[in-house]
Structures are given as C-alpha cells and as structure tokens.
Amino acid sequence: KQEVTQIPAALSVPEGENLVLNCSFTDSAIYNLQWFRQDPGKGLTSLLLIQSSQREQTSGRLNASLDKSSGRSTLYIAASQPGDSATYLCAVVGGGGADGLTFGKGTHLIIQP
C-alpha cells in the first residue's frame, strides 16, 4: 500500500526567504507526482505535475523535483510572499490501473510579512 509522508508538518518563515518542502513515498512504481495548494475553505489547486520519466518541473517561483528511485520529491519556493501562505499537499498516482491520487498530510506554510 502506497504511503506518502510530508516533512515538515508546519513551517513559518519571514517573507523573502527561499524554502523547501519535502515529500517521500514508499512505492516507487508511480505514474506521476503532483503538488497542490489548499487554502482554507477552498478546494485544491494543482501547482506542478511531474511525470515519472521527468526529473523536475518549474512554474514561476516554484520548482519541483522528483527522484523516483529513492521515493522523494521536493518543492522549492523562491522569494516567498505572504500570499504563499497555505497548506501544500503532495500526491502520487500509482502505476496500476486506477488513477486516484494518494496524498500526504500536507505542510502548513505561513509566510510572515
């Protein structure tokens, strides 16, 4: 059974800092890995999707890397802003026939102005 772990569970940093969120998964046979953002009372917004054959994806100030063999991914946020405050979730799709996502518990991020 696939398990996804995110570290740290919570993080508070001053505005402008660069930061790294970590995700690990137990079964390396994944189809893809996605990073989501969740704001209170709202649904999930997809930030980046990395196919199993890829090593990284970039979007603006966000960069996600994937090391499938070691079961790890990182989300790098450059020059953090207060608007980045949210919960960040990592999720994987397994290599089997179903397409459902297996999520970690998330990292609750606070950017202090």
Partner 1 sequence: EAGVAQSPRYKIIEKRQSVAFWCNPISGHATLYWYQQILGQGPKLLIQFQNNGVVDDSQLPKDRFSAERLKGVDSTLKIQPAKLEDSAVYLCASSHTRLRGGAKNIQYFGAGTRLSVL
Q: Report the residue number, 61 or 105, with the smaller CB distance to partner 1.
A: 105
| Interface with partner 1, residue 40, by CB under 8 A | no
Q: Which of residues 2-31 bind partner 1 (CB under 8 A)?
A: 4, 31
Instruction: Evaluate the CA torsion angle 105, 92, 6, 26 in order and state its sign.
Output: positive
Q: Is the peptide bond before 8 cis (omega within 30 degrees of 0)?
A: yes
Give the binding-site size for partner 1 (rule: CB under 8 A): 26
| Interface with partner 1, residue 60, by CB under 8 A | no
Q: How crowded is the C-beta side of 6, counted as CA atoms within 13 Å?
A: 24
Whether residue 71 contacts residue 28, with contact meaning beta carbons closer than 8 Å, is answered with: yes
Stretch that binds partner 1, among 14-22, 33-41, 61-69, 70-78 (CB under 8 A): 33-41
Phi/psi of residue 100, nearest 5 degrees: -65, 150
| Interface with partner 1, residue 109, by CB under 8 A | no
Binding positions for partner 1, rule: CB under 8 A: 4, 31-32, 34, 36, 41-46, 49, 51, 89, 91, 93, 97-106
